[in-house]
Structure 1
Amino acid sequence: MTITPVPDTTLRVTGLQAEHHPHPFGITTPCPRLSWRTETGLPAWQQRAYQIQQFNAAGELVGDTGRIESSESVVRPWPFEPLQSREHCRVQVQVWGNAGPLSGFSEPLVIETGLLQAQDWSARFITPAWEEDLTKPQPGPLLRREFTLQGAVRRARLYITALGVYDVHLNGQAVTTDVLTPGWTSYRTRLRYQTYDVTALLHDGPNAIGALLGDGWYRGRLGFGGGKRNLYGQRLALLAQLELEYEDGRTERVVSDEQWRASTGPVLAADLYDGETYDARLEQPGWTEPNFDDRSWRPVCILSEDFARLTGPEGPPVRRTERLEPKAIFASPSGRTLVDFGQNVVGWLRITVQGEAGHTVTLRHAEVLEHGELGTRPLRFAAATDHYTLKGEGVETWEPRFTFHGFRYVQVDGWPGELRLEDLQAVVVHSDLQRTGWFECSDPLINQLHQNVVWGMRGNFLDVPTDCPQRDERLGWTGDIQVFAPTASFLYDVSGFLSSWLKDLAADQLDDGAVPAVIPNVLDAPLPAAAWGDAATVVPWALYQRYGDATVLEQQFTSMKAWVEYIHRRTGPSLLWTQDFQFGDWLDPAAPPTNPAGGRTQPGVVATAYFARSAELVAHAAAVLGRTDDATQYRQLAQDIRAAFAAEYVTANGRIISDSSTAYALALQFALLESEDQRASAGQRLRALVREGGYHISTGFVGTPLICDALCSVGEHDAAYRLLTQTECPSWLYPVTMGATTIWERWDSMLPDGRINPGEMTSFNHYALGAVADWLHRTVAGLAPAEPGYRQLEFHPVPGGGLTSACARHLTPYGLTESAWDLQDGTFTLRAVVPPNTTARVTLPNGDVHQVASGTHAWTVPHRTAGVGEPVTLDSDFDTLTRHPELYRQVLETVQAHSADHLDSFRASLQSSLAGASLQRAVWGIPHREALLQKLERLITGQLA
């Protein structure tokens, strides 16, 4: 009997959100745009229409669009009256499709606005009325206020922020699990506030609210070389407005004002770089509860602040997202007690300890060991040390509030008694972004590389996209996020996170359009430079491509234009950006440890290439926004810059000045070559350079994100895979072989002998060089957007590198998609999942192209792996030999044993791109050549017998 499967005809609307918020509570957008996904088993399903209903706080239907004929389901305009401050409503959506039944209504989405106008605030910023020593961290102030409820409360909302960071409690209970709030913005122009539902924390009669403040980014030490304090202000302050709505309709406000009282407590010092010092003997039990005796507490005073800069969050808050148990406790050679958590993380320790009152435990954090001891030199001026003094009342559990560290290892000093694994936990802390992308393949080293990218992003996406999380820096370097934005937007939903940061970029942009190298800007010199300042154009465009929301282009367009016009003024009529400070191809592995900008590629090549790219992106953005005059102007400017670049830097046959991999990658990826012949020649030269380098990385921050795509664009997929799978230094996989669990700042942050790179600047958690993950997603697994927001998908896997399988999954704005391929016995199989309401273009390795609708599809085609099985002889070239890595290793050992002085010249000759380069010719010039050839002949014959 044959059973015919019954198709799944169910249709559900899921993932309803407002302004990219899955939980739009306390938002400050009066007309929040709505997005939703659909789930159905119906193949080729397309939305034909939708309907949205709105209900007020009482559950009454107050808005109904009726049926709207549209296939759009992402960031649809708010169809009802603009929301007012404090307004609470629910919306739900149903859809019609081209087939199957009408869906039911979605689960209601609760939307509540915060305070939309400055005049909605009756609270004031309050600060302790005492003098402080502003040259060093001060004890964290405690602020409190008691109040009495006048009846049963129906609803209570706390609107709160701080100058500094805060931790707030109500009646002894934590108001939120958010940490390090309100986060870091360009405080002078944008200060976020948070909204919390505190109804359940109130009770009849007396109540109390209390907040502890810390320096955070506001007045804590920021910057390298010792940094500076008090960059945004000298006084910490709290703004809190608790609004009560009683069951009988009455309302009341409890606000921060002169009625509050201030004191200090157990936090003696808290600094983001240096750590937290906490004396539990100074705790004041019950200070956030009613009926606490605060007569010894001191008054507060009012600060005059601009309420117009207050805004609600656009992205998720920073939270504790995971706890890790330690892997080992051991003694260092000097006798120090060290703890290994097995993973480089960002956050802090949670300790459980018991001992005498007054005894202090010290926790010092670092990412690596050197010679068996804690490797603290890369921390530079960051102490990264927490101190906890016991109160001596039994078992005590503690974790810091107002600091964070980048660490895998912790040195524990002063632990009373025996330190056990169960006494410690690493608390992982970062912005609580939704995971949206996954990748895996048949090579465990590449899988670990991808995991390192994910962990590096988690640690550095802590309210702003930082460069590193451990040393005296932790700044929002624009160059890092410029190259990493496509990878970030695949792995996590960063739509709100990065759109908020871009507003800070626009706010801190100088009047002449220059973009500082770090955002928020806290450096004395803004350092506007190519590939860094270009974050102003590249990041908005990346967000538009990945999320399909043109609003980010609208919001940033003035900033985008201003940056390009700044460069235009700097170049003048030549259109060549050859002056000013430039980072160049930062951290090119050829650059000396003391000069990371001293790479192989001329700074003017990098700068002018990015000038062309940014002008082109402004033209693209203008076209999307319907600004036809701007589109025409900047399209022409981009063409003129390309012509200037070609005239200055490119020969007639496609050679590019600097003759570096980065120069050719820029020219190929940014369309800087005027003819197909030049492009072909440049592609051949790029492949030759990569081969001559032994398929080691020869690019820095600028070239690395482009190199694999540049090679693939000229058909050199094999070379790209050889770069990817290289394990010798410098390479992506070298750190993996050294035990890395995050992406390093330098290719050789740790040397093969276990020593830390001697340069002053090295970090073991920098995500920029992990931008290769975007190529893993798009080319190795073969999953990319063909239209903005993945409305059409591109499936185009390119197998190689000896991989037998690869898979990428991504939660698009329309639903989950997947590209999974498998290669066995000469047969290639691809499985492609296309979300409802989208289409896809599929390109198979044999060149077949298919246009498909939503659903799950599979194809099987013959596929031969190039070069596999090719025998090795003395006439074999480098590429053939390295397809047998174990044999190649033994060849090198044989040459070294024969004549160590000639090993480098042997490798250079073998890797040469000159015609006829072979194993036999590579030994020319080595003494006793014939004897060496006989050894190699025996080795090859024995290996391949």
Structure 2
Amino acid sequence: MRVIKLKTNHITNPLGFDLGQPSISFVTIETDAKKQEAAQVIVALDKEFNEVVFDSGKSEDIDSLGFQLPIQLKQRTCYYWKVTVWTDNGEVATSDVNWFETAKMSEPWTSKWITPKLDSSVHPVLTKEFNVDKKIKSARAYVCGLGLYEININKAKAGDEYLAPNFNAYNKWLQYQTYDITDSLKQGENIIDVSLANGMYKGRFGLSRTENLYGDKFALLCEVVIDFEDGTSTIVSSDETWKARKSQVLASGIYDGEILDSTLAEQAIYEVEEIEIGYEKLKARLSLPVKIKERLNVVEVITTPAGETVLDLGQNMVGWIEFKTKAPKGTEITLQYGEILQDGNFYRDNLQSAKCEFKYIANGEESVVRPHFTYYGFRYVKVSGWHGEVKQEDFTGCVLYSDMELTGHIETSNPLVNRLFLNALWGQKGNFLDVPTDCPQRDERLGWTGDAQVFSGTASFNMDTFAFFNKYVYDIACEQEVLGGKVPNIVPVAGTGDGCSSGWSDVATIIPWTVYVQYGDKRILEQQFDSMKSWVDFIRKQDENSGSRRLWVTGFQLGDWLALDGENPNSFAGGTETAFIASAYYYYSSMIVSKSAKVLNREELFKEYETLANEIREAIRAEYFTSTGRLALKNQTAYILALYMDLVPEGKKARVVADMQERFKADKNHLKTGFIGTPYLCKSLSESGCNDLAYTLLLNKDYPSWLYAVTMGATTIWERWNSVLPDGKISGTDMNSLNHYSYGSIVEWMYRYMAGINPVEDKPGFRHIRLTPMPDYRLKYAKATYNSAVGLYESGWRISEEGNLSFKFVIPFNASASLILPNAKLENVKVNGKSLKETELNASQSGDNVTVELVSGVYDFYYVPQVAYVKYYSTQWSYEELVKNEETKKALVETLPILLEEHMIGKVGDKSPRELSYMPFFPVSSVVLDELDKKLGTIKVSVD
């Protein structure tokens, strides 16, 4: 048995973070035990645990998902901790030692904010020389540089993160970072160099693409604390004794790139002066460091028809190219970044005004070169001015994103679906660079809240996002403080205005709740509850000002953004009534606030917001539903939201589901949803007995569909369903990103429904799950793994050539699952080679399914399904289209219905055999499959 994944505030060995009252978590693996009986947490000031500051003793109250340490933290102190776990079978294991180190906390700064006496357009390096005359025990640098900075100690980069101090609402708070520079210093002369650049703080940024959004001067605050082995210490503080010089970085910007002139030797020395920024906005970091998480090789060097030299990385990625060169002094090498080729040539018009370039002027020495203060979204790189032959091995793609652990993976028998999963994952990597951005390449790269909230479920399966989202929602709360609870559509605002919209601004409630359910740590609800409540209160005020109808009918709404069902081709809002969407989210967020209040034991607020939510739901029902259950709106998104958000009147769900099926039939079983409808689309279908239709939408390959982009060679998720046309031409340059993760939210459905790994709200953190895999005959197998907060889950299924089902499940230690085996009879089910009925597992028949309660362990289930999983026939053609051909019509109208009437097993609603003949799923006995193959094979030939 081992105890692993020790984290403090969901971060491994955090250095210099704002920890608050720290919470520790851990995972136990490699044991046959089922439950944790007790645990012990010990915290000390030394690795040997001689100076213990907390010892829980053997306790039954320590939750591995989050145990808050009852200690008073000291400033600039490293704490070491370990965990011992006792299990129900008598095993005992103690973890390795982990640590966390506090920042300055409330300690006053001795340093001053300084700025160079240079023109504000000149990129500076601020520098300080100092002497160390004793043996060093430890050394830390506490740094905030505006806009972006890199710190070098004795000519070597300190730390392995980039683009510090990251991106937040700089007008509200400023993060400082802590660096362990113990091994970088030496006895004798030392030098600190801090390079500063524009970044989002003072560079061209935001929807206005203007400069100086947060400030117009470079600034640095740096405090180096050196502790010596003799017990003394010294501080090197930024002040007027520091000096400045011009940087080799001549220009930099997030949108436009960077110019680096390495021929510039260390130049004239300039004075620095104090700048009034103050200390009240300073806060120890919340942002995870942005690191080079992966390195990609160039897969091909292309010479285009236009004679350009272009590198193909094979993957749309975010970061930069690092290259080796020994070009003659003065050689100017230019790299231009783009996402797609057009007619075989380099192309980047869809990046709008962003230049996305890197210019390097060589000094004649052999060098490894990279940008310092920008990043790019790209697959292709045009190389100009290169000296000699352009070789693949001289270039490396450095993939940047926030330092998050990968936790989930999905694989199926369909390579296109597998690529779709990877596309969503790469979209997350590219856009989770400190802020969840909409896109990483063009002149935008902003924290659009709607994109973040619709993808948050997928994101939290793919990666451990607790700390990442914790920082983002903190920024949301900061922006709300001066807006009366209103949540801007973009956070940080970055000069974009404070407009709000349903679906976007509901990020304030949805992400904290998603993170709580995913990780089981209510600290995020404690931190964000006032923010969550104030957002709902803001909507309620709009409601009351418009007559207290318990509907949200005022203000501008973004609607079902980029949906395909709008009547106005110039509108991006889609065809679903925006007041319905807004009111649905009004209910949804109110209910989340109610549930959060219950978790936090705020009983009065729980009842207040539950009552509010119920009033909103009843108002929606009165406004949008008839007495017979007919929904007044006929859009896919309207049906989907009504079902997903539980807005359908009692007893009327069957009517709404039937009407929704007719809607999809009219749309030829293709989606027409936008940013709002798409995340809930397949979830609602699978929960409503339309799992076959959910798979149809997943597996469609023609436009509009998820796999259309995959068939067109996409390696990330597109902003639009048709960002690229079938002829390979980009569909337009106005708002057209090829790395825009919102529609990648389908991956959450793949985890939750295809594989069946569903968290349970009242047992959060995956302590208990609802395990509901939903196979479909169009895939031979599907499997998912998820390294949850409680441990590793696995869920996979396979359909044999004979149509039989097998499943494999892994339930981690100290967890349990309620399994629903679909289309099964209890007496036919085997588990781990034995009849299920002969085991001690709690199992029962529930209609057409078998329910089994599982505890920690590995399980292999096998059975013959009650209804055969037949092959997939053409759902791309409606009945009306098929019968245009006389031969086809004869086969369908005469032959197939007769076969179905003779061999059908059970009923599918009230569908007649003729209606079933053009549905995507037929529940038939295996004896008729061969005949169906023949008949439908003839149909396919005649249609194609």
By the TM > 0.5 criterion, same fold?
A: yes
Q: Does 1:811 align with 2:803?
A: no
Question: What amino acid maps onto 2:640 in structure 1?
Answer: A
> 2:2 is matched with which residue?
12
Question: What amino acid maps onto 2:41 in structure 1?
Answer: I
Q: Distance in 2 between matches of 1:191 and 1:499?
A: 16
Indicate conservation of the 8 Å contact 1:333/1:373, yes or no. yes
Cα shift at 1:866: 5.5
Indicate conservation of the 8 Å contact 1:154/1:245, yes or no. yes
Q: Does 1:587 align with 2:562?
A: yes
Indicate conservation of the 8 Å contact 1:47/1:72, yes or no. no
Cα shift at 1:336: 2.0
Which residue of the other structure, out of 857, 867, 882, is the alignment partner of 2:874?
A: 882
Q: Secondary structure at the match of 1:27?
A: coil
Q: Distance in 1 between matches of 2:59 and 2:278?
A: 42
Cα shift at 1:578: 2.0
Q: Secondary structure at the match of 1:201?
A: coil
Q: Does 1:339 align with 2:311?
A: yes
> 1:877 is matched with which residue?
none
Q: 1:548 to 1:142 in 2, by over 3 A?
A: same
Question: What amino acid maps onto 1:199 in structure 2?
Answer: T
Identity over aligned residues, as a percent? Answer: 37
> 1:129 is matched with which residue?
117
Q: 1:792 to 1:937 in 2, by over 3 A?
A: closer
Q: Deviations over 1:254-277 (max 9, x none)?
A: 111111100112111000000101
> 1:184 is matched with which residue?
167
Cα shift at 1:361: 1.5
Q: Does 1:168 align with 2:151?
A: yes
> 1:776 is matched with which residue?
750
Indicate conservation of the 8 Å contact 2:803/2:869, yes or no. no
> 2:905 is matched with which residue?
none
Indicate conservation of the 8 Å contact 1:722/1:801, yes or no. no
Cα shift at 1:427: 1.2
Cα shift at 1:834: 1.0
Q: Secondary structure at the match of 2:396?
A: strand
Q: Does 1:300 align with 2:277?
A: no
> 1:614 is matched with which residue?
589
Indicate conservation of the 8 Å contact 1:266/1:282, yes or no. yes
Q: 1:594 to 1:230 in 2, by over 3 A?
A: farther
Q: Does 1:406 align with 2:377?
A: yes
Number of aligned residue pairs: 872
Question: What amino acid maps onto 1:341 in structure 2?
Answer: L
Q: Deviations over 1:553-611 (max 9, x none)?
A: 11111111111111112122112222211110001023489735241211111111111
> 1:35 is matched with which residue?
25
Cα shift at 1:89: 2.3
Cα shift at 1:178: 0.4
> 1:234 is matched with which residue?
216
Q: Does 1:474 align with 2:448?
A: no
Indicate conservation of the 8 Å contact 1:517/1:533, yes or no. yes
Q: Secondary structure at the match of 1:277?
A: strand
> 2:807 is matched with which residue?
830
> 1:258 is matched with which residue?
240
Question: What amino acid maps onto 2:235 in structure 1?
Answer: R
Indicate conservation of the 8 Å contact 2:490/2:496, yes or no. no
Q: Does 1:281 align with 2:281?
A: no
Q: Deviations over 1:65-107 (max 9, x none)?
A: 222223622211203x31100112211111222222332x211
> 2:205 is matched with which residue?
222
Q: Distance in 1 between matches of 2:569 and 2:259?
A: 34
> 1:91 is matched with which residue?
81
Q: Deviations over 1:733-791 (max 9, x none)?
A: 00000000000000000011111112611110011100010000011011121221001
Cα shift at 1:918: 9.3
Q: Distance in 1 between matches of 2:137 and 2:624?
A: 71
Cα shift at 1:867: 6.4
Q: Distance in 2 between matches of 1:499 and 1:790?
A: 19
Length-normalised TM-score, structure 2 = 0.89
> 1:933 is matched with which residue?
none
Q: Distance in 1 between matches of 2:294 and 2:567?
A: 38
Q: Secondary structure at the match of 1:439?
A: strand
> 1:794 is matched with which residue?
770
Cα shift at 1:895: 6.7
Of the structure 1 ranges 656-665 and 530-539, higher mean CA displacement relative to structure 2 is found in: 656-665
Indicate conservation of the 8 Å contact 1:179/1:318, yes or no. yes
Q: Distance in 2 between matches of 1:577 and 1:752?
A: 40
Q: Deviations over 1:176-229 (max 9, x none)?
A: 1100011001112222211111111111111111111111111111123x5111
Q: 1:443 to 1:113 in 2, by over 3 A?
A: same
Cα shift at 1:320: 1.0
Q: Deviations over 1:665-723 (max 9, x none)?
A: 000011111222x2111111112212221221110000001111111122011111100
Q: Secondary structure at the match of 1:600?
A: coil
Q: 1:191 to 1:937 in 2, by over 3 A?
A: closer
Q: Does 1:420 align with 2:420?
A: no
> 2:620 is matched with which residue?
645
Alignment of 1:891-930 (within 5 A): none
Cα shift at 1:523: 3.7
Cα shift at 1:315: 4.5
Indicate conservation of the 8 Å contact 1:882/1:888, yes or no. no
> 1:106 is matched with which residue?
95
Q: Distance in 2 between matches of 1:341 and 1:529?
A: 38
Cα shift at 1:517: 0.4
> 2:14 is matched with which residue?
24
Indicate conservation of the 8 Å contact 1:24/1:112, yes or no. yes
Q: 1:411 to 1:643 in 2, by over 3 A?
A: same
Structure 1 gap segments, 5+ residues each: 1-10, 133-137, 285-293, 870-879, 899-912, 922-935
Which residue of the other structure, out of 323, 326, 335, is the alignment partner of 1:351?
A: 323
Q: Distance in 2 between matches of 1:113 and 1:609?
A: 43
Q: Deviations over 1:233-288 (max 9, x none)?
A: 1111111111111111111001111111001121110000001011111143xxxx
Cα shift at 1:888: 9.6
Q: Distance in 2 between matches of 1:938 and 1:47?
A: 57
Q: Distance in 2 between matches of 1:612 and 1:914?
A: 35
Question: What amino acid maps onto 2:17 in structure 1?
Answer: I
Question: What amino acid maps onto 2:136 in structure 1?
Answer: V
Cα shift at 1:451: 0.3
Question: What amino acid maps onto 1:33 in structure 2?
Answer: S
Indicate conservation of the 8 Å contact 1:666/1:703, yes or no. yes
Question: What amino acid maps onto 2:141 in structure 1?
Answer: L
Indicate conservation of the 8 Å contact 1:216/1:271, yes or no. yes
Q: Distance in 2 between matches of 1:240 and 1:670?
A: 50
> 1:54 is matched with which residue?
43
Q: 1:478 to 1:866 in 2, by over 3 A?
A: farther
Question: What amino acid maps onto 1:713 in structure 2?
Answer: E
Q: Secondary structure at the match of 2:263?
A: helix
> 1:5 is matched with which residue?
none
Q: Distance in 2 between matches of 1:376 and 1:612?
A: 42
Indicate conservation of the 8 Å contact 2:874/2:940, yes or no. no
Q: Does 1:397 align with 2:385?
A: no
Indicate conservation of the 8 Å contact 2:308/2:346, yes or no. no
Q: 1:107 to 1:684 in 2, by over 3 A?
A: same
Q: Distance in 2 between matches of 1:589 and 1:897?
A: 34
Which residue of the other structure, out of 487, 504, 528, is the alignment partner of 1:532?
A: 504
Which residue of the other structure, out of 424, 429, 454, is the alignment partner of 1:453?
A: 424
Q: Deviations over 1:27-68 (max 9, x none)?
A: 33253111111123224x211211122222374142322222
Indicate conservation of the 8 Å contact 1:593/1:757, yes or no. no
Q: Distance in 2 between matches of 1:354 and 1:246?
A: 42
Indicate conservation of the 8 Å contact 1:52/1:64, yes or no. yes
RMSD: 2.6
Question: What amino acid maps onto 2:870 in structure 1?
Answer: V
Structure 2 gap segments, 5+ residues each: 825-848, 889-909, 920-934
Alignment of 1:593-742 (within 5 A): 595-676=570-651, 678-742=652-716
Indicate conservation of the 8 Å contact 1:436/1:811, yes or no. yes
Q: Deviations over 1:435-454 (max 9, x none)?
A: 11111111111000000000
